[in-house]
Amino acid sequence: MAHRYSTVLEAYSVLGLEQGSSLDIVKNAYKQLALKTHPDKNPDNEDATAQFQRLSEAYNVLIKHHDQSSSSPHRHAYTHSYSSYGHYNDDQYDDEYRDVYDDDDEDLAFYMFLYEQLMRGKGRWSANMRYQRYNPRNSETTEQLQARMRRVREEQEAMKERRANEDVLRKAELEKERKEREAMKERRAREDVLRKAKLEKEREQEKKAAEERQRLKTTHRKAQAAAFQKSAAKKARAEQERLQTLRSEVFSAARRGDGDKVRKGIYEDNVDATGGEIIAGSEAYARRIPEDRQETLMHIAAKNGDAKLVQWLDCHNADPEECDESGMTAFQVALQRGDTSVLKHFYTTYRPEDPDYKHIYSGSATRSLLSLALESHKPEAIRMILDKGFASEEDINEERAYVISTEGKEALCGTGTRNGDDKYDEILDILMSYGGFSAPAPSPISQRVLHSPNRIFKQFRQPPSKDSAAHAERLTQLSPESQNSFHILLANNISG
């Protein structure tokens, strides 16, 4: 079926060109489309011939359009007529396709195909074609035509066979590629399995390594902790020993009366001024255990009569209320020794009438302050106790009875020297003046013991053993009642 294009615009559209495209562009487009749509390249497409005819008609319209536009005398009018009454111009066919196929073997094959269809009258569209003129240049004999046609068929068969071989090769190549892809897929799957197994193994190894590192860290930390504890314990023991040594040296200096070293130890070496010589838990580091483990530096200074050291200790955290093992404070120790300078420090610093300071003066000893003052044989110390109101009427009566007794007079007068007699008379006068009594006759020792059994320990300051001959002789001087009281007190003292 023939197609007619009434407009140039439709012809441009069939070739896929824009309106106004140049003749060279039209030729190139037509050549490319003709090569794609000619029947030889599309044997299975029944519409190939019709498509080729449409392209040819559109090409003719555009050729005429350009010829009329340029009015060139050298251009031919390329026309194709496909009407049932029209004729096909062979010169026009030859000139037209010479422009399209002039360079390669595919052009020749295409010409041969078209020529065969025209000559044999077997083309799908050749029945409607007629030649307007015959070009004797292209005439050939029947044998030549048959030979050429035979070559064309052979070439077509060879091309078909070649294409079949190419298809086989292509299929084989595709199959090979498919197998390679499957092999690669399997290989990748195996690699994935191996990689996963390797990763799992590495994770397991890393887990074990981490556990081992953690175990080593724990062991190391425990070892460090043990070593630190051991080192800390060693350092603590060394520090304990150092502190105890310093403290013992300070106490030794205090007993020697070396106040400067005592001050240095407390001020520079931070030795505590309170407490006894032995630090709790440091007994093993003490060079010697003191007789009185509760005796403080203030007790020692008071015993030595070092009022300046007592005052300095009092200003550097020493506790005047601390008692030794006998229950006496530093004040009581100083009173027992009759050191008035130390006593005056306490009186001045701690007012006796203030109840907050009561324990400084009373301590926890069972003996009265007046008995301690009498033991010092110092009239001034006795007067201080009486002046401050530390002695009750009962205490005065008890001590007066002891003083006027034979034993008391012997204890106070000593060897019977003039100074001893004068001191005795002064002490007795003090007691009589504060007690409001006249001088009585000396009472026997038995009466004194009955009034105050504790005074026995005044005469027997060191508790005697039961086998002591000296003490036994002295006990014979007592009445049976007094002897019985003494033995009771002695038993209590030993059991306590």
pLDDT greater than 60 at residue 148: yes
Distance from CA of residue 334 to its chain's centroid? 62
Residue 48's pLDDT band (cuts 50, 70, 90): confident
- Name the CA dihedral angle for 12, 13, 16, 22, rounded to a multiple of 10 degrees: 20
Collapse the DSSP code of 225 into the 3-class scheme (helix H, G, I; strand E, B; otherwise coil) and give the result: helix
Amino acid type, 365: A
Find tokens 């000619």 and name the residue: 38
Average pLDDT of the chain, as a whole number:
77
From the CB of residue 281, how many other CB atoms can be counted at a distance below 10 Å?
Answer: 10
Residue 470's pLDDT band (cuts 50, 70, 90): very low
Collapse the DSSP code of 88 into the 3-class scheme (helix H, G, I; strand E, B; otherwise coil) and give the result: strand
Could you give the CA distance from residue 92 to residue 80 in angstroms, rounded to a whole number? 8
pLDDT greater than 80 at residue 129: no
pLDDT greater than 90 at residue 19: no
Which residue range(s) make up the domain with 76?
Answer: 8-139
The pLDDT assigned to 466 comes to 40
The pLDDT assigned to 266 comes to 94
Q: Smallest Cα–Cα separation from 304: which of 325, 333, 329? A: 333
Collapse the DSSP code of 367 into the 3-class scheme (helix H, G, I; strand E, B; otherwise coil) and give the result: coil
Q: Which long-range contacts (CB under 8 A, 24 or more apart) does 189-192 make?
A: none
- Name the CA dihedral angle for 196, 201, 202, 208, rounded to a multiple of 10 degrees: 150
The pLDDT assigned to 171 comes to 93
Collapse the DSSP code of 494 into the 3-class scheme (helix H, G, I; strand E, B; otherwise coil) and give the result: helix
Find tokens 């295409």 and name the residue: 110
Could you give the CA distance from residue 270 to residue 297 in angstroms, rounded to a whole number? 14
Distance from CA of residue 326 to its chain's centroid? 57
pLDDT greater than 70 at residue 164: yes
Q: Does residue 275 lie within any of the structural domains?
A: no
pLDDT greater than 50 at residue 91: no
Could you give the CA distance from residue 382 to residue 391 in angstroms, rounded to a whole number? 10
pLDDT, one tens digit per residue, over 168-219 is: 999 999 999 999 999 999 999 999 999 999 999 999 999 999 999 999 999 9
Are 79 and 87 spatial neighbours (Cβ–Cβ below 8 Å)? Answer: no
The pLDDT assigned to 272 comes to 94
What phi and psi values does residue 88 have, to the nearest 5 degrees? -95, 130
Q: Does residue 330 lie within any of the structural domains?
A: no
The pLDDT assigned to 184 comes to 94
Residue 109's pLDDT band (cuts 50, 70, 90): low
Q: Does residue 101 lie within any of the structural domains?
A: yes
pLDDT, one tens digit per residue, over 149-158 is: 888 889 888 9
Q: Which position has the higher pLDDT, 347 or 4?
A: 347
Q: Which position has the higher pLDDT, 460 or 207?
A: 207
Helices (H) and strands (E) in the chain, counts: 21, 0
Q: Does residue 270 lie within any of the structural domains?
A: no
Q: Does residue 97 lie within any of the structural domains?
A: yes
Q: Does residue 210 lie within any of the structural domains?
A: no
pLDDT greater than 60 at residue 110: no
Q: Which position has the higher pLDDT, 457 or 185?
A: 185
pLDDT, one tens digit per residue, over 268-315 is: 999 999 999 999 988 888 888 999 999 999 999 999 999 999 999 999
Q: Which position has the higher pLDDT, 434 or 317?
A: 317
- Region label for 351, one of left (φ > 0), alpha (ψ between -120 and 50) or beta (otherwise): beta
The 3-state secondary structure of 264-288 reads: HHHHCCCCCCCCCCCCCCCHHHCCC
Give the total number of structural domains in the chain: 1
Q: Which position has the higher pLDDT, 440 or 451?
A: 440
Amino acid type, 50: A
Q: Smallest Cα–Cα separation from 327: which of 377, 304, 361? A: 361
Q: Does residue 68 lie within any of the structural domains?
A: yes
End-to-end C-alpha distance for the chain, whole angstroms: 151
Are 437 and 400 spatial neighbours (Cβ–Cβ below 8 Å)? Answer: yes
Element (H, E) at 166: helix 142-256
The pLDDT assigned to 55 comes to 86
pLDDT, one tens digit per residue, over 216-264 is: 999 999 998 998 888 888 898 898 899 999 999 999 999 999 999 999 9
Beta-sheet strands, E only, within 337-383: none
% of the chain beyond a pLDDT of 90? 36
pLDDT greater than 50 at residue 441: no
**DSSP summary character for residue 23:** H
Q: Read off the CATH number of the domain in which 102 is found.
A: 1.10.287.110
What sign has the CA pseudo-torsion 115, 118, 119, 123?
positive
pLDDT, one tens digit per residue, over 55-87 is: 888 888 888 888 877 654 444 444 443 333 333
The pTM of this model reads 0.47
Are 39 and 113 spatial neighbours (Cβ–Cβ below 8 Å)? Answer: yes
Q: Does residue 473 lie within any of the structural domains?
A: no
